[in-house]
Structure 1
């Protein structure tokens, strides 16, 4: 085998609601290389204020395998997993760009918590990853000293400026 048949790639796995930890544990037990970036979030709905560890991509994690060598179909039958993300329903898994996953891994500390995705230049395209604007793309307009980003989103033939915390966005 040569070329693509020898290459391990990263693939996205959709997990059941709030089952990231159990899916990771079970995939690790089966010998798969896994990655799930986390973020620290402040919860202020109760007293005292708590800092909790939440998945950076809620409902998803990443697994690395060789499509031609490894027994990847068993991933879909793993406790905590909903399904591998595929090109079309029931088709082959869709690989993630290696550079995206490598950048995420490099941005994590030893506990796999995202620390920083580096400097994002004004005018860069931003993807919202949390909240009501999740998965929308926009343009970075400004950043304040509290890591609040002002992003220009295009919605329904108009533009909307929103302010979001740094942890709610990634560079697209």
Structure 2
């Protein structure tokens, strides 16, 4: 890696549930801090909602002026558990990776079904049948309506058992 020392970021591990505290304290000390977040679509109690989550929970990217001089300052910051290391080696993250992550601000789960979608059943006795989603049941299951023996039948399937059209 031929990166200038000023174009390098390091990874800091935060204490459990103290990411915000660590970020605030690192910024107050003048460090460049980056904690990427994603907006993901989730189904909770049958309702699709947008939720903001950390891309790397428990970790924060930090850009110190000089890691050797500021290592102990980083390590002793409130909310920080330590600098990520592998033995004596402290991994470096190039600036271009951080720039790429800054461009990723929203992740939409294109595979997540919506009410009214048509799906094909992939497993079980109804394999190959087409069905219509009528209700979402949590994050991994849904109710579908399918036609079987000239009747409409309501069934509950895991998303893994369905192929979305």
TM range (shorter): 0.5 to 0.7
Aligned to 2:85: 86
**1:147 aligns with one of 86, 89, 110:** 110
Q: 2:15–2:58: 8 Å Cα contact kept in structure 1?
A: yes
Q: Specify the SS of the correspondent of 1:61.
A: strand
Q: Quick one: structure 1 residues 18 and 95, their matched pair in 2 at CA, closer, same or farther if it must change by over 3 Å? A: same
Secondary structure in 1 matching 2:9:
strand
Aligned to 2:95: 98
Higher gyration radius (CA) = 2
More strand by share: 2
Alpha carbons of 1:54 and 1:5: their partners in 2 closer, same or farther (altered >3 Å)? closer
Report which stretch shifted further, 44-53 or 22-31.
44-53
Matched, 1:28 2:19: no
Q: 1:76 to 1:32 in 2, by over 3 A?
A: same
Matched positions, count: 113
Q: State the distance in 1 between where 2:29 and 2:64 align.
A: 12
1:67 aligns with 2:66: yes
SS in 1 for 2:102: helix
TM-score (norm 1): 0.53
Q: Return the offset for 1:31.
A: 0.6
CA pair 39-66 structure 1, distance change in 2 beyond 3 A: same
Moved more, 45-54 or 27-36: 45-54
RMSD over aligned CA atoms reads: 3.3
Cα shift readout 1:67-104 (whole Å, capped 9, x = no counterpart): 3675232111111111111231xx35321132211101
Where does structure 1 differ by over 6 angstroms across 4 or more consecutive aligned residues?
A: none
Alpha-carbon distance, 1:105 to partner? 1.5
* 1:41 Cα deviation after fit: 3.7
Aligned CA distance change for structure 1 residues 15 and 97 (closer, same or farther; 3 Å) = same
Q: 1:12 to 1:146 in 2, by over 3 A?
A: closer
1:16-51 superposed Cα distances (whole Å, 9 cap, x missing partner): 122211110010001100000112245544587654
C-alpha separation between the residues in 1 aligned to 2:106 and 2:69? Answer: 32
Q: Residue 57 of structure 1: CA displacement?
A: 0.7
Aligned to 1:115: 106
SS of equivalent to 1:105: helix
